[in-house]
Structure 1
Amino acid sequence: MSSSRPFGRALCAMVTPFSDDGSLDLDGARKLAAQLVDDGCDGLVLSGTTGESPTTSDAEKAALVRAVAEEVGDRAVTVAGVGTADTRHTVALAREAERAGADGLLVTAPYYSRPPQPAIEAHLRRVADAVGVPLMLYDIPGRTGVRIEPETMLRLADHPRVVAVKDCAYDLLGTTKVIAGSGLAYYSGCEETNLPLYAVGGAGFVSTVANVAAPHLRAVLDAYDAGETARAARLSHLALPLSEAMMAAGLPGAVTAKALLGALGRPAGPVREPLQPAGREAADGLLEEYRRLERAAGQSLV
Protein backbone atom coordinates (compact mmCIF):
# COMPACT_ATOMS: atom_id res chain seq x y z
CA MET A 1 0.00 0.00 0.00
CA SER A 2 1.16 3.54 -0.67
CA SER A 3 2.08 5.89 2.15
CA SER A 4 -0.90 8.09 1.27
CA ARG A 5 -3.21 5.06 1.52
CA PRO A 6 -1.52 2.89 4.15
CA PHE A 7 -4.48 0.49 4.36
CA GLY A 8 -5.64 0.74 0.75
CA ARG A 9 -8.83 2.51 -0.34
CA ALA A 10 -11.79 0.18 0.18
CA LEU A 11 -12.07 -1.32 3.65
CA CYS A 12 -14.98 -3.25 5.11
CA ALA A 13 -16.01 -2.95 8.75
CA MET A 14 -16.66 -6.68 8.87
CA VAL A 15 -19.33 -8.31 10.99
CA THR A 16 -18.24 -11.00 13.43
CA PRO A 17 -20.00 -14.22 12.41
CA PHE A 18 -21.55 -16.27 15.21
CA SER A 19 -23.00 -19.77 15.18
CA ASP A 20 -26.65 -20.34 15.96
CA ASP A 21 -25.76 -20.93 19.61
CA GLY A 22 -24.00 -17.55 19.77
CA SER A 23 -20.44 -18.88 19.76
CA LEU A 24 -17.73 -17.42 17.53
CA ASP A 25 -17.89 -18.88 14.02
CA LEU A 26 -14.29 -18.84 12.82
CA ASP A 27 -15.02 -20.90 9.70
CA GLY A 28 -17.71 -18.41 8.78
CA ALA A 29 -15.32 -15.53 9.43
CA ARG A 30 -12.76 -17.06 7.08
CA LYS A 31 -15.34 -17.57 4.35
CA LEU A 32 -16.78 -14.08 4.70
CA ALA A 33 -13.32 -12.50 4.73
CA ALA A 34 -12.31 -14.34 1.56
CA GLN A 35 -15.55 -13.27 -0.18
CA LEU A 36 -15.09 -9.63 0.81
CA VAL A 37 -11.56 -9.60 -0.58
CA ASP A 38 -12.84 -11.23 -3.78
CA ASP A 39 -15.43 -8.41 -3.89
CA GLY A 40 -12.66 -5.82 -4.00
CA CYS A 41 -11.93 -4.94 -0.37
CA ASP A 42 -8.33 -3.88 0.22
CA GLY A 43 -8.69 -4.33 3.95
CA LEU A 44 -10.90 -5.78 6.67
CA VAL A 45 -11.52 -4.00 9.95
CA LEU A 46 -12.34 -6.49 12.70
CA SER A 47 -13.85 -6.00 16.15
CA GLY A 48 -15.17 -2.53 15.48
CA THR A 49 -18.69 -1.32 16.13
CA THR A 50 -20.10 -3.49 13.33
CA GLY A 51 -18.00 -6.38 14.64
CA GLU A 52 -19.86 -6.22 17.97
CA SER A 53 -16.64 -5.69 19.91
CA PRO A 54 -18.40 -4.82 23.21
CA THR A 55 -19.73 -8.39 23.39
CA THR A 56 -16.69 -10.41 22.30
CA SER A 57 -14.05 -11.55 24.75
CA ASP A 58 -10.35 -10.72 24.49
CA ALA A 59 -9.66 -14.33 23.49
CA GLU A 60 -12.35 -14.22 20.79
CA LYS A 61 -10.93 -10.98 19.40
CA ALA A 62 -7.46 -12.53 19.09
CA ALA A 63 -8.83 -15.73 17.54
CA LEU A 64 -10.79 -13.71 14.99
CA VAL A 65 -7.72 -11.73 13.95
CA ARG A 66 -5.64 -14.88 13.67
CA ALA A 67 -8.21 -16.69 11.52
CA VAL A 68 -8.86 -13.77 9.15
CA ALA A 69 -5.19 -12.83 8.79
CA GLU A 70 -4.34 -16.43 7.91
CA GLU A 71 -7.21 -16.59 5.43
CA VAL A 72 -6.51 -13.41 3.47
CA GLY A 73 -2.71 -13.44 3.74
CA ASP A 74 -1.20 -10.65 1.70
CA ARG A 75 -4.34 -10.19 -0.42
CA ALA A 76 -5.67 -7.59 2.03
CA VAL A 77 -4.71 -5.84 5.24
CA THR A 78 -6.25 -6.83 8.56
CA VAL A 79 -6.98 -4.02 11.01
CA ALA A 80 -8.01 -4.97 14.55
CA GLY A 81 -10.23 -2.81 16.70
CA VAL A 82 -8.74 -2.49 20.18
CA GLY A 83 -10.52 0.54 21.62
CA THR A 84 -11.65 0.41 25.25
CA ALA A 85 -12.27 2.85 28.10
CA ASP A 86 -9.14 1.61 29.92
CA THR A 87 -5.62 2.46 28.69
CA ARG A 88 -4.03 -0.66 30.17
CA HIS A 89 -6.67 -2.88 28.61
CA THR A 90 -6.32 -1.16 25.24
CA VAL A 91 -2.56 -1.64 25.29
CA ALA A 92 -2.98 -5.32 26.17
CA LEU A 93 -5.48 -5.82 23.32
CA ALA A 94 -3.18 -3.98 20.91
CA ARG A 95 -0.22 -6.19 21.73
CA GLU A 96 -2.31 -9.35 21.48
CA ALA A 97 -3.76 -8.27 18.10
CA GLU A 98 -0.25 -7.63 16.80
CA ARG A 99 0.84 -11.08 17.97
CA ALA A 100 -2.22 -12.59 16.29
CA GLY A 101 -1.19 -11.12 12.93
CA ALA A 102 -3.01 -7.81 12.60
CA ASP A 103 -1.42 -5.43 10.08
CA GLY A 104 -2.82 -2.39 11.87
CA LEU A 105 -4.97 -1.29 14.79
CA LEU A 106 -8.15 0.78 15.06
CA VAL A 107 -8.17 2.81 18.29
CA THR A 108 -10.95 5.03 19.64
CA ALA A 109 -10.77 7.75 22.23
CA PRO A 110 -11.55 6.28 25.67
CA TYR A 111 -15.31 6.29 26.02
CA TYR A 112 -17.75 7.06 28.82
CA SER A 113 -15.23 8.81 31.12
CA ARG A 114 -14.90 11.65 28.58
CA PRO A 115 -11.27 12.60 29.32
CA PRO A 116 -9.94 15.99 28.20
CA GLN A 117 -7.80 16.29 25.08
CA PRO A 118 -4.37 15.96 26.80
CA ALA A 119 -5.52 12.69 28.38
CA ILE A 120 -6.88 11.41 25.07
CA GLU A 121 -3.60 12.24 23.38
CA ALA A 122 -1.62 10.48 26.12
CA HIS A 123 -3.85 7.41 25.83
CA LEU A 124 -3.37 7.15 22.07
CA ARG A 125 0.38 7.71 22.33
CA ARG A 126 0.62 4.96 24.93
CA VAL A 127 -0.97 2.52 22.50
CA ALA A 128 1.20 3.66 19.58
CA ASP A 129 4.33 3.32 21.73
CA ALA A 130 3.39 -0.21 22.78
CA VAL A 131 3.26 -1.84 19.33
CA GLY A 132 5.15 -2.04 16.06
CA VAL A 133 2.19 -1.83 13.67
CA PRO A 134 0.45 1.33 12.41
CA LEU A 135 -2.60 2.87 14.02
CA MET A 136 -5.84 4.18 12.55
CA LEU A 137 -7.43 6.56 15.04
CA TYR A 138 -11.22 6.32 15.21
CA ASP A 139 -12.95 9.65 15.76
CA ILE A 140 -16.58 8.82 16.57
CA PRO A 141 -17.86 11.16 19.28
CA GLY A 142 -21.42 9.92 18.89
CA ARG A 143 -20.33 6.68 20.55
CA THR A 144 -17.36 7.66 22.71
CA GLY A 145 -18.85 10.92 23.97
CA VAL A 146 -15.74 12.91 23.09
CA ARG A 147 -13.91 14.13 19.98
CA ILE A 148 -10.32 13.62 19.03
CA GLU A 149 -10.08 17.30 18.17
CA PRO A 150 -8.31 18.42 14.97
CA GLU A 151 -5.52 20.07 16.99
CA THR A 152 -4.98 16.78 18.83
CA MET A 153 -4.88 14.91 15.52
CA LEU A 154 -2.25 17.30 14.21
CA ARG A 155 -0.07 16.69 17.26
CA LEU A 156 -0.51 12.92 17.07
CA ALA A 157 0.49 12.96 13.41
CA ASP A 158 4.10 13.34 14.51
CA HIS A 159 4.08 9.79 15.90
CA PRO A 160 5.56 7.40 13.34
CA ARG A 161 2.89 4.76 13.94
CA VAL A 162 -0.13 7.08 13.84
CA VAL A 163 -0.85 7.02 10.11
CA ALA A 164 -4.60 7.17 9.54
CA VAL A 165 -8.01 8.23 10.84
CA LYS A 166 -11.45 6.68 10.51
CA ASP A 167 -13.63 9.77 10.45
CA CYS A 168 -17.15 9.75 11.90
CA ALA A 169 -16.98 13.25 13.40
CA TYR A 170 -19.19 15.00 10.81
CA ASP A 171 -16.81 17.97 10.79
CA LEU A 172 -15.68 18.45 7.22
CA LEU A 173 -13.92 21.72 8.02
CA GLY A 174 -11.86 20.19 10.82
CA THR A 175 -11.17 17.06 8.81
CA THR A 176 -10.00 19.04 5.80
CA LYS A 177 -7.68 21.11 8.01
CA VAL A 178 -6.02 17.96 9.31
CA ILE A 179 -5.70 16.46 5.83
CA ALA A 180 -4.10 19.70 4.62
CA GLY A 181 -1.81 20.04 7.62
CA SER A 182 -0.60 16.49 8.13
CA GLY A 183 0.26 13.26 6.41
CA LEU A 184 -2.63 11.40 8.02
CA ALA A 185 -4.71 9.24 5.70
CA TYR A 186 -8.41 9.94 6.28
CA TYR A 187 -10.95 7.18 5.76
CA SER A 188 -14.65 7.95 5.73
CA GLY A 189 -16.52 5.98 8.38
CA CYS A 190 -19.96 7.25 7.34
CA GLU A 191 -21.36 6.09 4.02
CA GLU A 192 -22.68 9.49 2.93
CA THR A 193 -19.23 11.06 3.24
CA ASN A 194 -17.33 8.44 1.24
CA LEU A 195 -17.18 10.49 -1.95
CA PRO A 196 -17.08 14.01 -0.43
CA LEU A 197 -14.17 13.10 1.83
CA TYR A 198 -12.35 11.37 -1.01
CA ALA A 199 -12.75 14.50 -3.13
CA VAL A 200 -10.94 16.67 -0.58
CA GLY A 201 -7.99 14.33 -0.21
CA GLY A 202 -9.32 11.37 1.77
CA ALA A 203 -7.78 7.94 1.35
CA GLY A 204 -10.96 5.89 1.03
CA PHE A 205 -13.58 4.37 3.32
CA VAL A 206 -14.17 1.93 6.16
CA SER A 207 -17.71 0.79 5.44
CA THR A 208 -20.39 -1.34 7.09
CA VAL A 209 -22.38 -1.35 3.85
CA ALA A 210 -19.35 -2.96 2.17
CA ASN A 211 -20.33 -6.21 3.88
CA VAL A 212 -22.94 -6.54 1.13
CA ALA A 213 -22.11 -3.93 -1.54
CA ALA A 214 -18.32 -3.61 -1.69
CA PRO A 215 -18.09 -3.73 -5.53
CA HIS A 216 -20.48 -0.80 -5.89
CA LEU A 217 -18.82 1.32 -3.20
CA ARG A 218 -15.43 0.68 -4.73
CA ALA A 219 -16.77 1.60 -8.17
CA VAL A 220 -17.51 5.10 -6.85
CA LEU A 221 -13.84 5.61 -6.02
CA ASP A 222 -12.73 4.00 -9.28
CA ALA A 223 -14.88 6.43 -11.27
CA TYR A 224 -13.52 9.40 -9.37
CA ASP A 225 -9.92 8.25 -9.88
CA ALA A 226 -10.63 7.91 -13.60
CA GLY A 227 -11.72 11.55 -13.72
CA GLU A 228 -15.36 10.59 -14.22
CA THR A 229 -16.63 12.75 -11.39
CA ALA A 230 -20.23 12.97 -12.63
CA ARG A 231 -20.39 9.18 -12.87
CA ALA A 232 -18.88 8.86 -9.41
CA ALA A 233 -21.61 11.11 -8.07
CA ARG A 234 -24.33 9.10 -9.82
CA LEU A 235 -22.99 5.84 -8.43
CA SER A 236 -22.79 7.39 -4.97
CA HIS A 237 -26.39 8.56 -5.23
CA LEU A 238 -27.54 5.07 -6.22
CA ALA A 239 -26.12 3.64 -3.00
CA LEU A 240 -27.74 6.18 -0.69
CA PRO A 241 -31.09 4.38 -0.16
CA LEU A 242 -29.35 1.15 0.88
CA SER A 243 -26.89 3.06 3.06
CA GLU A 244 -29.76 4.93 4.71
CA ALA A 245 -31.70 1.71 5.30
CA MET A 246 -28.67 0.05 6.85
CA MET A 247 -27.22 2.93 8.84
CA ALA A 248 -29.88 5.55 9.54
CA ALA A 249 -33.22 3.79 9.90
CA GLY A 250 -33.07 3.07 13.62
CA LEU A 251 -31.23 -0.26 13.68
CA PRO A 252 -27.49 -0.66 14.38
CA GLY A 253 -25.27 -1.50 11.43
CA ALA A 254 -24.36 -4.89 12.88
CA VAL A 255 -28.05 -5.82 12.93
CA THR A 256 -28.80 -4.66 9.39
CA ALA A 257 -25.60 -6.09 7.90
CA LYS A 258 -26.21 -9.49 9.48
CA ALA A 259 -29.82 -9.50 8.32
CA LEU A 260 -28.77 -8.86 4.74
CA LEU A 261 -25.83 -11.26 4.81
CA GLY A 262 -28.12 -13.98 6.09
CA ALA A 263 -30.67 -13.27 3.36
CA LEU A 264 -27.89 -13.51 0.77
CA GLY A 265 -26.61 -16.81 2.14
CA ARG A 266 -23.34 -15.46 3.49
CA PRO A 267 -21.87 -16.20 6.91
CA ALA A 268 -23.18 -13.91 9.65
CA GLY A 269 -25.37 -15.63 12.19
CA PRO A 270 -27.18 -13.92 15.04
CA VAL A 271 -26.25 -10.76 16.89
CA ARG A 272 -25.36 -10.94 20.57
CA GLU A 273 -27.46 -9.29 23.23
CA PRO A 274 -28.19 -6.56 24.00
CA LEU A 275 -28.64 -6.26 20.22
CA GLN A 276 -31.71 -7.95 18.79
CA PRO A 277 -32.18 -9.31 15.27
CA ALA A 278 -34.01 -7.32 12.63
CA GLY A 279 -37.72 -8.07 12.40
CA ARG A 280 -39.21 -9.56 9.26
CA GLU A 281 -40.49 -6.23 7.94
CA ALA A 282 -37.10 -4.55 8.41
CA ALA A 283 -35.23 -7.49 6.91
CA ASP A 284 -37.53 -7.57 3.88
CA GLY A 285 -37.06 -3.81 3.43
CA LEU A 286 -33.29 -4.15 3.54
CA LEU A 287 -33.34 -6.89 0.92
CA GLU A 288 -35.62 -4.80 -1.28
CA GLU A 289 -33.18 -1.87 -1.16
CA TYR A 290 -30.29 -4.19 -1.90
CA ARG A 291 -32.06 -5.64 -4.95
CA ARG A 292 -32.98 -2.14 -6.10
CA LEU A 293 -29.32 -1.11 -6.00
CA GLU A 294 -28.36 -4.31 -7.76
CA ARG A 295 -30.78 -3.58 -10.59
CA ALA A 296 -29.89 0.10 -10.82
CA ALA A 297 -26.18 -0.58 -10.93
CA GLY A 298 -26.69 -3.08 -13.72
CA GLN A 299 -24.46 -5.64 -12.05
CA SER A 300 -24.66 -8.41 -9.49
CA LEU A 301 -23.32 -7.47 -6.06
CA VAL A 302 -23.22 -11.06 -4.86
Structure 2
Amino acid sequence: MDFGRLITAMVTPFDANLQIDWDQTAKLIDYLIEEQASDSLVVCGTTGESPTLTEEEKLELFKFAVKHAGGRCKIIAGTGSNDTAHSIHLSREAEKLGVDALLLVVPYYNRPSQEGMYQHYKAIAEAVNIPCILYNVPGRTGVNLNADTTIRLSQIPNIAATKDCADLDQLTRVVRDAAPGFLVYSGEDNMTLPALSVGAHGVISVASHVIGKDMKNMINCYLQGNVREATQIHAKLHPVFKGLFECPHRVPNPAPVKFALNGRGVEVGGVRLPLINVTEEEGRFITSLFE
Protein backbone atom coordinates (compact mmCIF):
# COMPACT_ATOMS: atom_id res chain seq x y z
CA MET A 1 0.00 0.00 0.00
CA ASP A 2 1.22 3.47 -0.89
CA PHE A 3 0.40 6.03 1.79
CA GLY A 4 1.48 8.95 -0.39
CA ARG A 5 4.46 11.23 -0.10
CA LEU A 6 3.20 13.62 2.59
CA ILE A 7 1.72 12.18 5.77
CA THR A 8 0.72 14.46 8.63
CA ALA A 9 1.04 13.26 12.21
CA MET A 10 -2.14 14.98 13.34
CA VAL A 11 -2.56 16.87 16.60
CA THR A 12 -5.58 16.08 18.77
CA PRO A 13 -7.86 19.12 19.17
CA PHE A 14 -8.95 19.80 22.76
CA ASP A 15 -11.61 22.10 24.15
CA ALA A 16 -11.18 24.48 27.09
CA ASN A 17 -11.44 21.53 29.50
CA LEU A 18 -8.82 19.55 27.55
CA GLN A 19 -11.38 17.05 26.31
CA ILE A 20 -11.45 16.03 22.65
CA ASP A 21 -13.21 18.67 20.58
CA TRP A 22 -15.00 16.64 17.92
CA ASP A 23 -16.20 19.60 15.85
CA GLN A 24 -12.67 20.95 15.61
CA THR A 25 -11.32 17.47 14.87
CA ALA A 26 -13.60 17.31 11.84
CA LYS A 27 -12.49 20.77 10.72
CA LEU A 28 -8.83 19.85 11.20
CA ILE A 29 -9.15 16.70 9.08
CA ASP A 30 -10.79 18.74 6.31
CA TYR A 31 -8.11 21.43 6.58
CA LEU A 32 -5.22 18.97 6.40
CA ILE A 33 -6.66 17.19 3.37
CA GLU A 34 -8.03 20.15 1.44
CA GLU A 35 -5.65 23.00 2.32
CA GLN A 36 -2.40 21.30 3.33
CA ALA A 37 -2.33 18.45 0.77
CA SER A 38 -1.91 15.57 3.23
CA ASP A 39 -2.05 12.16 1.57
CA SER A 40 -2.54 10.31 4.86
CA LEU A 41 -3.08 11.21 8.50
CA VAL A 42 -1.57 9.58 11.58
CA VAL A 43 -4.13 9.65 14.38
CA CYS A 44 -2.97 9.26 17.99
CA GLY A 45 0.73 9.39 17.30
CA THR A 46 3.10 11.23 19.61
CA THR A 47 2.04 14.51 18.00
CA GLY A 48 -1.55 13.55 18.85
CA GLU A 49 -0.50 13.32 22.53
CA SER A 50 -1.03 9.57 22.62
CA PRO A 51 0.60 9.17 26.07
CA THR A 52 -2.24 11.14 27.66
CA LEU A 53 -5.12 9.71 25.63
CA THR A 54 -7.13 6.86 27.13
CA GLU A 55 -7.75 3.71 25.14
CA GLU A 56 -11.39 4.71 24.79
CA GLU A 57 -10.40 8.11 23.40
CA LYS A 58 -8.01 6.52 20.92
CA LEU A 59 -10.63 4.13 19.60
CA GLU A 60 -13.16 6.94 19.31
CA LEU A 61 -10.61 9.01 17.37
CA PHE A 62 -9.82 6.13 15.01
CA LYS A 63 -13.50 5.55 14.30
CA PHE A 64 -14.24 9.25 13.87
CA ALA A 65 -11.27 9.87 11.56
CA VAL A 66 -12.11 6.93 9.30
CA LYS A 67 -15.72 8.05 8.97
CA HIS A 68 -15.00 11.74 8.49
CA ALA A 69 -12.13 11.28 6.04
CA GLY A 70 -14.47 9.13 3.97
CA GLY A 71 -11.72 7.74 1.78
CA ARG A 72 -10.25 11.16 0.93
CA CYS A 73 -7.00 10.14 2.60
CA LYS A 74 -5.68 7.09 4.40
CA ILE A 75 -5.98 6.91 8.19
CA ILE A 76 -3.01 5.45 10.06
CA ALA A 77 -3.65 4.56 13.70
CA GLY A 78 -0.95 5.01 16.31
CA THR A 79 -1.26 1.78 18.28
CA GLY A 80 2.31 1.11 19.39
CA SER A 81 3.48 1.07 23.00
CA ASN A 82 6.12 -0.53 25.18
CA ASP A 83 3.76 -3.40 26.02
CA THR A 84 3.54 -5.91 23.18
CA ALA A 85 0.34 -7.53 24.41
CA HIS A 86 -1.45 -4.19 24.70
CA SER A 87 -0.13 -3.07 21.31
CA ILE A 88 -1.63 -6.23 19.78
CA HIS A 89 -4.95 -5.62 21.52
CA LEU A 90 -5.18 -1.98 20.42
CA SER A 91 -4.03 -2.82 16.90
CA ARG A 92 -6.73 -5.46 16.51
CA GLU A 93 -9.38 -3.03 17.76
CA ALA A 94 -8.16 -0.34 15.36
CA GLU A 95 -8.29 -2.79 12.47
CA LYS A 96 -11.93 -3.56 13.29
CA LEU A 97 -12.70 0.16 13.03
CA GLY A 98 -11.45 0.32 9.45
CA VAL A 99 -8.12 2.13 9.68
CA ASP A 100 -5.83 1.69 6.70
CA ALA A 101 -2.60 1.00 8.57
CA LEU A 102 -0.87 1.08 11.95
CA LEU A 103 2.04 3.21 13.16
CA LEU A 104 4.04 1.31 15.76
CA VAL A 105 6.58 3.21 17.81
CA VAL A 106 9.71 1.46 19.07
CA PRO A 107 9.07 0.31 22.67
CA TYR A 108 10.13 3.18 24.90
CA TYR A 109 11.68 3.27 28.36
CA ASN A 110 12.25 -0.48 28.74
CA ARG A 111 14.92 -0.27 25.98
CA PRO A 112 14.66 -3.75 24.44
CA SER A 113 17.45 -5.43 22.48
CA GLN A 114 17.39 -5.60 18.70
CA GLU A 115 16.03 -9.15 18.92
CA GLY A 116 13.41 -8.00 21.43
CA MET A 117 12.28 -5.28 19.03
CA TYR A 118 12.16 -7.74 16.16
CA GLN A 119 9.98 -10.14 18.13
CA HIS A 120 7.76 -7.26 19.32
CA TYR A 121 7.04 -6.11 15.78
CA LYS A 122 6.72 -9.63 14.42
CA ALA A 123 4.09 -10.49 17.04
CA ILE A 124 2.01 -7.39 16.24
CA ALA A 125 2.26 -7.84 12.48
CA GLU A 126 1.18 -11.46 12.71
CA ALA A 127 -1.84 -10.49 14.82
CA VAL A 128 -3.40 -8.17 12.19
CA ASN A 129 -4.09 -8.16 8.46
CA ILE A 130 -3.40 -4.52 7.64
CA PRO A 131 -0.08 -2.80 6.88
CA CYS A 132 2.23 -1.90 9.75
CA ILE A 133 4.61 1.05 9.76
CA LEU A 134 7.63 0.98 12.05
CA TYR A 135 8.42 4.19 13.94
CA ASN A 136 12.02 4.68 15.00
CA VAL A 137 12.53 7.81 17.11
CA PRO A 138 15.60 7.26 19.34
CA GLY A 139 15.37 10.71 20.92
CA ARG A 140 12.08 9.76 22.55
CA THR A 141 12.42 6.00 23.05
CA GLY A 142 16.02 5.74 24.24
CA VAL A 143 16.94 3.01 21.76
CA ASN A 144 17.61 2.86 18.00
CA LEU A 145 15.91 0.29 15.77
CA ASN A 146 19.01 -0.23 13.67
CA ALA A 147 19.26 -0.77 9.94
CA ASP A 148 19.85 -4.52 10.17
CA THR A 149 16.73 -5.06 12.28
CA THR A 150 14.63 -2.78 10.07
CA ILE A 151 15.79 -4.66 6.97
CA ARG A 152 14.97 -7.97 8.64
CA LEU A 153 11.51 -6.72 9.61
CA SER A 154 10.87 -5.53 6.05
CA GLN A 155 10.76 -9.20 5.02
CA ILE A 156 7.54 -9.69 7.03
CA PRO A 157 4.76 -9.32 4.43
CA ASN A 158 2.55 -6.71 6.13
CA ILE A 159 5.37 -4.60 7.59
CA ALA A 160 5.15 -2.11 4.77
CA ALA A 161 7.15 0.96 5.76
CA THR A 162 9.19 2.77 8.37
CA LYS A 163 9.12 6.28 9.79
CA ASP A 164 12.75 6.75 10.75
CA CYS A 165 14.32 9.66 12.61
CA ALA A 166 17.83 8.22 12.34
CA ASP A 167 20.63 9.69 10.24
CA LEU A 168 21.07 9.51 6.48
CA ASP A 169 23.52 6.63 6.76
CA GLN A 170 20.85 4.44 8.33
CA LEU A 171 18.16 5.60 5.88
CA THR A 172 20.47 4.85 2.96
CA ARG A 173 21.14 1.32 4.15
CA VAL A 174 17.45 0.62 4.69
CA VAL A 175 16.50 2.01 1.27
CA ARG A 176 19.21 -0.08 -0.36
CA ASP A 177 18.67 -3.40 1.37
CA ALA A 178 15.04 -3.58 2.51
CA ALA A 179 12.54 -5.87 0.84
CA PRO A 180 11.14 -4.69 -2.52
CA GLY A 181 8.26 -2.30 -2.05
CA PHE A 182 9.18 -1.38 1.52
CA LEU A 183 8.71 2.38 1.94
CA VAL A 184 11.04 4.63 3.93
CA TYR A 185 9.67 7.88 5.37
CA SER A 186 11.73 10.54 7.07
CA GLY A 187 10.49 11.33 10.55
CA GLU A 188 12.25 14.69 10.59
CA ASP A 189 10.76 17.60 8.65
CA ASN A 190 14.11 19.27 8.01
CA MET A 191 15.44 16.01 6.52
CA THR A 192 12.66 15.62 3.95
CA LEU A 193 14.66 16.70 0.93
CA PRO A 194 17.94 15.02 1.99
CA ALA A 195 15.99 11.81 2.68
CA LEU A 196 14.39 11.93 -0.77
CA SER A 197 17.87 12.29 -2.25
CA VAL A 198 18.91 8.89 -0.85
CA GLY A 199 15.70 7.17 -1.96
CA ALA A 200 13.16 7.77 0.81
CA HIS A 201 9.53 7.79 -0.31
CA GLY A 202 8.37 10.83 1.66
CA VAL A 203 7.90 12.28 5.13
CA ILE A 204 5.65 11.80 8.13
CA SER A 205 5.48 15.39 9.20
CA VAL A 206 4.50 17.83 11.94
CA ALA A 207 5.23 21.05 10.03
CA SER A 208 2.77 19.96 7.32
CA HIS A 209 0.01 21.21 9.61
CA VAL A 210 0.99 24.73 8.56
CA ILE A 211 3.23 24.44 5.47
CA GLY A 212 2.00 21.18 3.98
CA LYS A 213 1.18 22.60 0.56
CA ASP A 214 4.69 24.05 0.29
CA MET A 215 6.21 20.75 1.41
CA LYS A 216 4.20 18.84 -1.20
CA ASN A 217 5.41 21.31 -3.84
CA MET A 218 9.02 20.74 -2.73
CA ILE A 219 8.58 16.97 -2.94
CA ASN A 220 6.95 17.15 -6.36
CA CYS A 221 9.65 19.47 -7.69
CA TYR A 222 12.33 17.03 -6.61
CA LEU A 223 10.51 14.03 -8.09
CA GLN A 224 10.03 15.88 -11.38
CA GLY A 225 13.76 16.63 -11.60
CA ASN A 226 13.50 20.31 -10.64
CA VAL A 227 16.19 19.91 -8.01
CA ARG A 228 17.23 23.56 -7.93
CA GLU A 229 13.65 24.69 -7.23
CA ALA A 230 13.26 21.96 -4.60
CA THR A 231 16.39 23.15 -2.80
CA GLN A 232 15.15 26.73 -2.91
CA ILE A 233 11.85 25.71 -1.31
CA HIS A 234 13.75 23.67 1.29
CA ALA A 235 15.88 26.69 2.17
CA LYS A 236 12.78 28.86 2.52
CA LEU A 237 10.99 26.32 4.75
CA HIS A 238 14.02 25.35 6.83
CA PRO A 239 13.51 28.02 9.54
CA VAL A 240 9.99 26.67 10.11
CA PHE A 241 11.21 23.06 10.16
CA LYS A 242 13.76 23.90 12.82
CA GLY A 243 11.82 26.59 14.64
CA LEU A 244 8.81 24.43 15.49
CA PHE A 245 11.11 22.11 17.44
CA GLU A 246 13.67 24.55 18.81
CA CYS A 247 11.59 27.60 19.69
CA PRO A 248 13.64 28.99 21.41
CA HIS A 249 14.17 26.52 24.27
CA ARG A 250 13.32 23.20 22.55
CA VAL A 251 9.64 23.22 23.51
CA PRO A 252 8.26 19.69 23.26
CA ASN A 253 6.03 18.84 20.30
CA PRO A 254 3.08 19.45 19.80
CA ALA A 255 2.79 22.66 21.84
CA PRO A 256 4.50 24.83 19.17
CA VAL A 257 2.48 23.52 16.23
CA LYS A 258 -0.76 23.78 18.21
CA PHE A 259 0.08 27.43 18.89
CA ALA A 260 0.79 27.97 15.19
CA LEU A 261 -2.52 26.37 14.21
CA ASN A 262 -4.49 28.41 16.73
CA GLY A 263 -2.84 31.55 15.37
CA ARG A 264 -4.10 30.66 11.90
CA GLY A 265 -7.67 30.24 13.10
CA VAL A 266 -7.53 26.44 13.17
CA GLU A 267 -8.66 25.98 16.75
CA VAL A 268 -6.99 22.95 18.33
CA GLY A 269 -6.73 24.15 21.94
CA GLY A 270 -3.87 23.51 24.34
CA VAL A 271 -1.91 20.48 25.51
CA ARG A 272 -2.44 18.09 28.40
CA LEU A 273 -0.01 17.86 31.28
CA PRO A 274 2.82 17.03 31.64
CA LEU A 275 3.18 19.16 28.51
CA ILE A 276 2.48 22.87 28.88
CA ASN A 277 1.50 25.59 26.45
CA VAL A 278 4.15 27.87 24.98
CA THR A 279 5.15 31.02 26.84
CA GLU A 280 4.60 34.52 25.46
CA GLU A 281 8.25 34.66 24.38
CA GLU A 282 7.99 31.30 22.64
CA GLY A 283 4.73 32.36 21.01
CA ARG A 284 6.35 35.50 19.59
CA PHE A 285 9.15 33.38 18.18
CA ILE A 286 6.71 30.96 16.50
CA THR A 287 4.69 33.84 15.07
CA SER A 288 7.88 35.36 13.64
CA LEU A 289 8.53 32.20 11.62
CA PHE A 290 5.57 33.00 9.39
CA GLU A 291 6.11 36.74 8.94
- TM bucket (normalised to shorter chain) is over 0.9
Q: Which residue of 1 aligns with 2:22?
A: 26
Q: Which residue of 2 aligns with 1:295?
A: none
Partner of 2:157, secondary structure, is: coil
> Which residue identity lines up with residue 285 of structure 1 in the other structure?
F
CA contact (8 A) 1:258 1:270 kept: yes
User: Equivalents in 1 of 2:275, 2:264: separation in Å?
Assistant: 21
User: Equivalents in 1 of 2:24, 2:66: separation in Å?
Assistant: 14
> Which residue identity lines up with residue 221 of structure 2 in the other structure?
A
Q: Which residue of 2 aligns with 1:287?
A: 287
**Structure 1 length-normalised TM:** 0.92
Aligned residues: 286
Q: Quick one: which of 6, 12, 21 aligns to 1:10?
A: 6
Partner of 2:289, secondary structure, is: helix
Q: Which residue of 2 aligns with 1:67?
A: 64
Q: Quick one: which of 57, 61, 80 aligns to 2:77?
A: 80
**Structure 2 length-normalised TM:** 0.96
Which digits, 9 at most, give the CA deviation of each residue in 1:150-183, with x for residues without a partner?
Answer: 11111111111101000112x2112111111123
The answer to whether 1:231 aligns with 2:229 is yes
Shift of 1:269: 0.7
Partner of 1:75, secondary structure, is: coil
> Which residue identity lines up with residue 86 of structure 1 in the other structure?
D
User: Equivalents in 1 of 2:122, 2:221: separation in Å?
Assistant: 37
Q: Quick one: which of 134, 143, 146 aligns to 1:146?
A: 143
User: Equivalents in 2 of 1:180, 1:117: separation in Å?
Assistant: 20
The answer to whether 1:211 aligns with 2:201 is no
Partner of 1:114, secondary structure, is: coil
Shift of 1:101: 2.1
CA contact (8 A) 2:6 2:40 kept: yes
User: Superposed, which structure 2 residues align to 1:1-302 within 5 Å?
Assistant: 6-38=2-34, 39-169=36-166, 171-182=167-178, 183=180, 184-249=182-247, 250-291=250-291
Shift of 1:248: 2.4
Q: Which runs of 5+ in 1 are unaligned?
A: 292-302
Identical aligned residues as a percent: 35
User: Equivalents in 2 of 1:185, 1:137: separation in Å?
Assistant: 10
Partner of 1:74, secondary structure, is: coil
Shift of 1:200: 1.3
User: Equivalents in 2 of 1:133, 1:26: separation in Å?
Assistant: 26
Which digits, 9 at most, give the CA deviation of each residue in 1:117-155, with x for residues without a partner?
Answer: 111100001110111110110011111111111111111
User: Equivalents in 1 of 2:117, 2:211: separation in Å?
Assistant: 34
Q: Which runs of 5+ in 2 are unaligned?
A: none
CA contact (8 A) 2:171 2:198 kept: no
> Which residue identity lines up with residue 162 of structure 1 in the other structure?
I
